[in-house]
């Protein structure tokens, strides 16, 4: 409609997802005294030197930048636990390992602002990048199996915020297309056709055209969507080409039988 500012308002940018992650709690060790802070998002402190306390990540980073504390990396950000996660991630092709919902964002924030507080930072960083790549690859390949789930609900266990955000526009629309094309409206129903004169326009040849039109429409929409996404972030680009070809393949498999079914 006219005046509409953004065609996909439900899609968050990578920065917005990061903003949300900054509210996650993390442990810090202050090196100064400070009175308790009564913030809008909660009460934190009082702060004493060498006494571990929990604060939101944005607060931890603000204090860290001013040299007022060291940040304690969360337990999952150690070489041992990450190596283990990476191994099990590689072993199982279907399921995802349990990681914090915001693991991508949290690790990136800590690498950017608190490198010196993370033991073996290079190793940890490359492990997390490996895990991320393995998982994103798995997300892409598992998209194909959505085809079998021609239902209204798909379960996605242990997917993280960033991963969900990347696949959301694509998967949402793909499922919607499946749902629409699986609708009884588009599958010839002899009983209804003979009964209803009013619905005569729905007869077979037109129906074929309609499906065909929707197929093209869907593909064009998707391409446009992904062109747009490319501008966002490296993370988003990751999904683009492969996911698109996957979508077209899936859609074709789904549509072609319906199309021919209505012609013959």
Partner 1 sequence: MVRSKLLIPVWFPRNSREGTVDEFVEGGTDPLTISLYQMDLDRTQFLLRSYLRIRLQKIEKHMFHILKTDELFNRLSKEEKVFAQRSCDDLKMHLEDSVLSRLPDNYQSILKQSIISEEIDMVPKPQLDMFVVCKTKYYLGHIQLEDGDDGNLDDRGNQRPLEEPFEMEPNVLYFVRYKPIKKLVEEGKIDLY
CB 174 within 8 A of CB 218: no
* String marking each residue 21-60 x if it binds partner 1 according to CB under 8 A: -x-----------xx-x-xxx----------------xx-
112: its two tokens: 């950017």
Cα distances (Å, whole numbers) of residue 160 to 7, 29, 95, 132? 25, 28, 13, 10
Report d(CA 183, CA 198) in Å as an integer.
Answer: 19
Report d(CA 103, CA 86) in Å as an integer.
Answer: 14
- Tell me how far, at minimum, the Cβ of 126 lies from partner 1, in Å: 28
* Count of residues in contact with partner 1, rule CB under 8 A: 47
Computed over its alpha carbons, how large is the radius of gyration of the chain? 25
159 contacts partner 1 (rule: CB under 8 A):
yes
Report d(CA 246, CA 144) in Å as an integer.
Answer: 7
Nearer to partner 1, 22 or 130 (CB): 22
Q: Which stretch binds partner 1 (CB under 8 A): 110-118, 119-127, 172-180, 210-218?
A: 172-180
Nearer to partner 1, 125 or 163 (CB): 163
Separation of first and last alpha carbons in the chain: 39
User: Using CB under 8 A as the criterion, which residues of the chain lie in contact with partner 1 when the complex forms?
Assistant: 1-6, 9, 16, 19, 22, 34-35, 37, 39-41, 58-59, 62, 66, 68, 151-159, 161, 164, 168, 171-173, 175-176, 179-180, 182-185, 189, 191-192
């Amino acid at each position: 409609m006219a005046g509409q500012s953004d065609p996909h308002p439900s899609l968050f940018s990578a920065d917005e997802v990061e903003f949300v992650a900054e509210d996650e709690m993390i442990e810090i060790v202050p090196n100064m005294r400070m009175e308790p802070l009564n913030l809008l998002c909660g009460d934190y402190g009082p702060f004493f030197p060498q006494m571990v306390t929990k604060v939101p990540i944005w607060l931890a980073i603000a204090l860290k930048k001013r040299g007022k504390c060291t940040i304690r990396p969360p337990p999952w950000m150690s070489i041992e636990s990450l190596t283990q996660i990476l191994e099990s991630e590689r072993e199982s092709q279907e399921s995802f390992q349990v990681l914090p919902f915001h693991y991508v964002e949290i690790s990136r924030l800590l690498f950017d602002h608190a490198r010196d507080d993370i033991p073996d930072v290079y190793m940890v960083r490359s492990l997390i990048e490996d895990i991320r790549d393995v998982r994103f690859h798995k997300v892409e390949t598992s998209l194909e199996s959505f085809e079998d789930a021609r239902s209204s609900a798909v379960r996605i266990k242990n997917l993280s915020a960033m991963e969900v955000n990347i696949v959301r526009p694509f998967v949402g629309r793909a499922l919607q297309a499946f749902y629409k094309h699986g609708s009884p409206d588009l599958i010839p129903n002899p009983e209804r056709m003979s009964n209803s004169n009013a619905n005569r326009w729905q007869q077979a040849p037109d129906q074929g055209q309609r499906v065909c039109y929707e197929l093209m429409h869907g593909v064009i929409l998707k391409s446009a969507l992904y062109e747009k996404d490319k501008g966002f972030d490296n993370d988003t680009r990751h999904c683009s080409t492969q996911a698109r070809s996957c979508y077209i393949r899936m859609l074709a498999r789904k549509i072609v039988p319906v199309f021919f079914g209505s012609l013959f």
